[in-house]
């Protein structure tokens, strides 16, 4: 049955979505798991569309992840098929056959080779995904594809999400204005090691696949790989970036580095889209009532700072303290100390809501908890840690851990 979870108190409305030239998409009800809601999304891309992808680092990935990884070296895409409700993971030969049959059916409709069809699935693990439900629904869905189908697609890929997620930006590329727009889904089983959920971004820019890949790989490092709901890396996650070329900008060479001056505006706009989508996922963390922004400075390296920030964001004790609106800075110190990164209690400082609570191994003399108590009652919680060891810094985002998370996951398969 369709989920009826209350909308997250951290939810944000959809932005005004635009048409991305060279992209048509839509959603349909295929009855894969849910009743009375869409659960199958199809997107078709103009001939010549290039593609980049970043995938989960899980050692037990779903069949669609394997399919996309195998297709990615060609760098071309003509279609994308996504289903919600069944992850097509741990389904053996049947899972591979479902991928093959689905890609062949979509390729026939798009007029391309099956290898130019990208696949993604999200939902329950370990149940056979009957491809007939998808292949039967695809022809009518293809007939109904529209350049205005972005919101329908955003809703069609939801599982335990309580609101649809999308982001959009424009940028100048070689003197031509281009559009970047994306959708995402994610609420639980969210932790970095790419990806963290499903996200699909399209642009009408003309860019070689190698350049797209460099931009995407760089962009996820400080966006998707800096968020965590529950420290659990999914088997199915991916971020795909498609470039249709319909904007007609002067193309760059395959060897253009991601930090090239010509890519500055596009790179920044893409990062903003990825950042927005990642933030929306955290805002929809299962049972979440508070968004945690964790800033770490003074680490021996940026990588070390990231590990410390993620240790804080993943700590059940920190997350439950935030849920209970308790400014328990001792739990933050605990998380710093346990993560295996260089730290020294005598150089460590902790701030919450901009108020320094602990410094040089002890509580700040005369510390007034009143403004911190007020800060903890809000939806946005700011935690800052300075390790006092070096110049490394990082920022991560997490959410609180409430009984709602247990309620959602304790009944996920029922």
| Per-residue pLDDT tens digits of the chain, which is 414 residues long | 444 678 999 999 999 999 999 999 999 999 998 889 999 999 999 999 999 999 988 888 999 999 999 999 999 999 999 999 999 999 999 999 999 999 999 999 999 999 999 999 998 889 999 999 999 999 999 999 999 999 999 999 998 899 999 999 999 999 999 999 999 998 755 454 443 479 999 999 999 999 999 999 999 999 999 998 877 777 888 999 999 999 999 989 999 999 999 999 999 999 999 999 999 999 998 888 999 999 999 999 999 999 999 999 999 999 999 999 999 999 999 999 999 999 999 999 999 999 999 999 899 999 999 999 999 999 999 999 999 999 999 999 999 998 877 887 776 555
Q: Is residue 265 a part of any domain in this protein? A: yes
409 annotated to bind ligand? yes
The CATH code of the domain that includes 381 is 3.10.20.340
Task: Return the active site residues.
Answer: 196
b/e per residue 149-174 (b: at least 16 CB within 10 A): bbebbbbbbbbbbbbbbbbbbebebb
Q: Please check whether residues 337 and 317 belong to one and the same domain.
A: yes
414 annotated to bind ligand? yes
Number of domains the chain contains: 2
Tell me the angle at which helices 209-221 and 264-283 cross, rounded to the nearest 10 degrees: 50
Give the Cα separation of 313 and 401 in Å (integer): 10
Contacts of 278 (CB under 8 A, 6+ apart): 184, 196, 223, 224, 226, 227, 397
pTM: 0.94
Q: What is the pLDDT of residue 63?
A: 95
Question: Which of 223, 248, 283 delimits the end of a domain?
Answer: 283
Question: In this structure, what token pair is assigned to residue 352?
Answer: 């919450």
Q: What is the pLDDT of residue 133?
A: 95
Phi then psi dihedrals of residue 357, to 5 deg: -100, -45
Strands 117-124 and 79-86: parallel
Q: Please check whether residues 66 and 172 belong to one and the same domain.
A: yes
Coil vs helix vs strand at 406: helix
Phi then psi dihedrals of residue 339, to 5 deg: -85, 0
Give the Cα separation of 414 and 411 in Å (integer): 5
Strands 380-386 and 362-363: unpaired
Q: What is the pLDDT of residue 234?
A: 77
Q: What is the pLDDT of residue 414?
A: 52
Q: Which H or E element spans position 181? A: strand 176-185
Q: Is residue 229 a part of any domain in this protein? A: yes
The CATH code of the domain that includes 42 is 3.60.70.12
Question: In this structure, what token pair is assigned to residue 24?
Answer: 């048509």
Peptide bond into 195 cis (omega under 30): yes
Q: Please check whether residues 272 and 296 belong to one and the same domain.
A: no
Q: What is the pLDDT of residue 406?
A: 80
185 annotated to bind ligand? yes
Q: Is residue 11 a part of any domain in this protein? A: no
Coil vs helix vs strand at 91: coil
Q: Please check whether residues 221 and 273 belong to one and the same domain.
A: yes
Q: Please check whether residues 54 and 84 belong to one and the same domain.
A: yes
Enclosing domain of residue 44: 23-283
Best CA proximity match to 353, nearest among 293, 393, 402: 293
Q: Please check whether residues 326 and 379 belong to one and the same domain.
A: yes
Q: What is the largest CA-CA distance in the chain?
A: 72
Q: Is residue 15 a part of any domain in this protein? A: no
Q: Please check whether residues 28 and 139 belong to one and the same domain.
A: yes
Q: Is residue 60 a part of any domain in this protein? A: yes
Q: Is residue 378 a part of any domain in this protein? A: yes
Q: Please check whether residues 172 and 70 belong to one and the same domain.
A: yes
């Amino acid at each position: 049955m369709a989920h009826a979870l209350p909308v997250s108190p951290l939810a944000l409305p959809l932005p005004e979505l635009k048409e991305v030239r060279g992209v048509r998409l839509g959603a349909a009800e295929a009855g894969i798991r849910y009743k009375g809601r869409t659960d199958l999304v199809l997107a078709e891309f103009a001939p010549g569309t290039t593609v980049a992808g970043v995938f989960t680092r899980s050692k037990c990935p779903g069949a669609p992840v394997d399919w996309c990884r195998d297709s990615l070296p060609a760098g071309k895409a003509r279609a994308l098929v996504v289903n919600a409700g069944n992850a097509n993971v741990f389904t053996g030969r049947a899972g591979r056959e479902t991928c093959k049959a689905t890609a062949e059916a979509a390729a026939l409709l798009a007029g391309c080779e099956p290898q130019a069809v990208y696949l993604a699935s999200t939902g329950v693990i370990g149940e056979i995904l009957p491809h007939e439900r998808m292949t039967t629904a695809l022809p009518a869905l293809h007939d109904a594809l529209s350049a205005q189908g972005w919101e329908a697609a955003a809703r069609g890929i939801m599982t335990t999400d309580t609101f649809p997620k999308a982001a959009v930006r424009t940028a100048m590329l070689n003197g031509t204005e281009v559009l970047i727009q994306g959708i995402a889904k994610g609420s639980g089983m969210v932790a970095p090691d790419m990806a963290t959920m499903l996200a699909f971004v399209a642009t009408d820019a003309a860019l070689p696949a190698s350049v797209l890949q460099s931009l995407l790989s760089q962009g996820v490092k400080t966006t998707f790989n800096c968020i965590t709901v529950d420290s659990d890396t999914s088997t199915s996650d991916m971020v795909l970036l498609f470039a249709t070329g319909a904007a007609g900008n002067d193309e760059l060479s395959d060897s253009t580095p991601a930090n090239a001056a010509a890519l500055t505006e596009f790179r920044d706009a893409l990062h903003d889209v990825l950042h927005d989508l990642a933030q929306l996922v955290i805002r929809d963390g299962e049972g979440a009532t508070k968004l945690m922004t964790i800033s770490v400075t003074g680490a021996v390296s940026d990588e070390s700072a990231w590990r410390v920030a993620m240790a804080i964001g993943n700590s059940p004790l920190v997350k439950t303290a935030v849920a209970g609106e308790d400014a328990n800075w001792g739990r933050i110190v605990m998380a710093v100390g346990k993560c295996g990164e260089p730290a020294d209690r005598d150089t460590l400082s902790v701030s919450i809501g901009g108020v320094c609570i602990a410094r040089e191994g002890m509580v700040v003399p005369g510390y007034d908890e009143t403004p911190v108590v007020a800060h903890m009652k809000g939806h946005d919680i700011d935690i800052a840690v300075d390790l006092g060891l070096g110049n490394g810094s990082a920022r991560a985002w997490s959410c609180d851990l409430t009984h709602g998370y247990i309620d959602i996951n304790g009944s996920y398969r029922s």
